[in-house]
Structures are given as C-alpha cells and as structure tokens.
Amino acid sequence: MSITVARADRHVKDWSHNLARFPTRANWPLHLFHTCQLEVAVEIIKSEGIKCRGNVEHLICDVANQGAVWNNPEAHNYVRLYFRPRNSFHLKTEGVKAIGDPYRVNPHMSIPVAFAFDFKKIITLPNCGFVPGNFAKTGAAPLSGDVEFDKMQFELVYHDSALPQEKMAEVHNWRMSEAVVSGTLSLSHLSYVICRTVHEERTLRHALGNQVAPKIIVEQKGSIFMRRGMVIDEIYWASDLLNIRFHGPTGFTKETYKVKVVCWDNKKQREGNFLLAPGGYRFPSIPASKDAIWKIEIEDCLVHFAPIPSTSGLVTS
C-alpha cells in the first residue's frame, strides 16, 4: 500500500481546508489527474483503463517530452497521474499553438481531455507509489509509506501564483509531482472525465459513438485547463449558416491563422480553407443542412468533429 487510508483522509481534509478560499484549486486535493489528447481519451474509455507506456502496443498521440521520455525508462512501467492540473506539462502541450511558434511540438493536445480519479482510492492501492517532482528525471523512483508521504511539499505542489526567478525551477518541479500505478489502471475509481468546453464535450461524445461513457463534465471556474492556446469559443448553426468564434493564443501570435472547415451532409462532402484573424465568422460558402457533421481544424489541428446544434441549443464557453 502506498499510504494508509488514515493518511489519505488527513491529506484530503487538510488541503481541502487550506485551498477552500481558492475556487480554482479547492477540489484539487480530492483527485489525481491524467490528461491526454481526445483520440487517446476515446481509447482509454473504450478499453476501460489506462495502460502504462511500456504496455501500449501503439501510441496513438504521443505528447510526451521526447527529449526526456528516455531519461528514466523505469517510468514506462507506471500509469502516471499528477496531484494537480495546470502544470508545466499543460503549458507545453495544451491547446492549439500557431504554426511557426518555436514552442509548438507535434503532436500536442489540441483537444485535451482530463481524467480525474478519486485521490483516496488510488493513493492507497497496493501498486501505487508517489514521486516528488517529475518521474522523468534520471534516477527517480516511486516512494511509498506515510513517513515518505509526510516529506512531500504540497504547499509547493498546489502553489499557483507568480514566482520569483530564483524559486521557479524548484516550484515548477514540485508541481509536476506524481502518483504512479504499476501496469494498468482501470476506470473503476474514476470520478470525472473533464472537457474544456461544451463544444469539445460534443466532439468527445461523437467520437465515442454508442460507447457507454463515464461521467463527462465541462470545466468550471478555470480549474483544470490553462487555455493559453487557440480554442473555439462559440460554434452553432443559425440561419442555415455555420457560425464560429475563436480566440488566438496568448503567446506567439499572428495576424491570421489557417482554418479548414469540412462538412458531410447527405453523403456529400464540402470543404473550405481560410486565413482568418481571431473573431467570429459565418460560412455561406459551405452550404449544408442542420444535420451535417462538421470537422474544423485550426493551424492543422483538430478543434471540432461532431454535429453542430442550432441556435436553440446555443451554448458558449
């Protein structure tokens, strides 16, 4: 057993109390987090479990830091969960980054999906350990037991404000701390599957088809995702036209971005390619009915693939 149930209970009680005044962090101590690209999330849900890297026959969308992934091959034997979201992993991979951005890595998570597991049920499993800082560090190994867990600096793990230059490396490393489960982790202790927007939730449900889905919810209060990349803010069908609105990235910006729109309607495929500035648009050049299936890419990255509701079902994020 990684830690005792009593120690897990105390962690949740103490840190839920400490973070209660911060709406975006208040629920972090209740969960352990695993975030991946949409296609990987679909495979996880359909297979009802997350496999460690060493047991995956084919990596569908490998967003791991390729420069560090072989630093510690031991980490490949474990399913890796973060104690918190919004860490350096998210900063590097989450959201569409513009073509030409020096920090763009292909592939990255254009549609990130977060799995939130029950903290107490996972951290007390016999095959669960924990790692202070990033498990990809050379020589890092899982720890176990209440004594070692007491040494974890959760005041730094859960830290989420500005940092002085001299503390950045230390705190960023603590934010990457992990709970690790050997082999395969079933979804039996899964609490939620979390999407950034209702539009991305719709894309996930469409990709799952008739698969029975776990509890899928949409992020509230900005508690899970950074949203620094490009995101679709609105997408709906009105007056027989597709309407979308998107915002640009917060970092590397350009005047216009590649947008590709494809629809399948009555077995006919139509598409359009555009260079657009961030903002809202209608697409009269792509005729379709309200029953069409739409695939939208920004900067060659998928951002939507599903039917689009009419204005009667309009929701924005």
Whole-prediction pTM: 0.94
Superfamily of domain covering 230-313: Immunoglobulins (2.60.40.10)
Residue 313, pLDDT score: 43
Can you point out the beta strands (E) in the chain? 31-37, 49-51, 78-82, 112-118, 128-131, 178-182, 184-186, 190-195, 216-218, 231-238, 241-247, 257-265, 268-276, 279-282, 293-298, 301-307
Task: Say if residue 232's pLDDT is above 70.
Answer: yes
Residue 187, pLDDT score: 97
- Tens-place pLDDT, residues 62-93: 777 666 666 788 888 999 999 999 998 888 88
Residue 314, pLDDT score: 46
Task: Say if residue 173's pLDDT is above 90.
Answer: yes
Task: Say if residue 178's pLDDT is above 50.
Answer: yes
Task: Say if residue 10's pLDDT is above 60.
Answer: yes
**Residue 267 pLDDT level (bands cut at 50, 70, 90):** confident
Task: Say if residue 107's pLDDT is above 90.
Answer: no
Long-range contacts of the stretch 40-49 (C-beta < 8 A, 24+)? 40/113, 41/113, 41/115, 41/193, 41/204, 42/204, 42/207, 42/208, 44/115, 44/187, 45/187, 45/193, 45/208, 45/211, 45/213, 45/214, 46/208, 46/211, 48/186, 48/187, 49/184, 49/185, 49/186, 49/187
Mean of pLDDT values over 157-186: 94
Residue 136, pLDDT score: 84
Residue 311, pLDDT score: 66
SS3 127: coil
Burial code (b: 16+ CB inside 10 Å, e: under 16) for 70-104 equals: ebbeebbebbbbbbbbbbebbbebbbbbbeebeeb
**Residue 58 pLDDT level (bands cut at 50, 70, 90):** confident
Q: What is the mean pLDDT of the chain?
A: 92
**Residue 47 pLDDT level (bands cut at 50, 70, 90):** very high
Domain positions in the chain are 5-206, 230-313
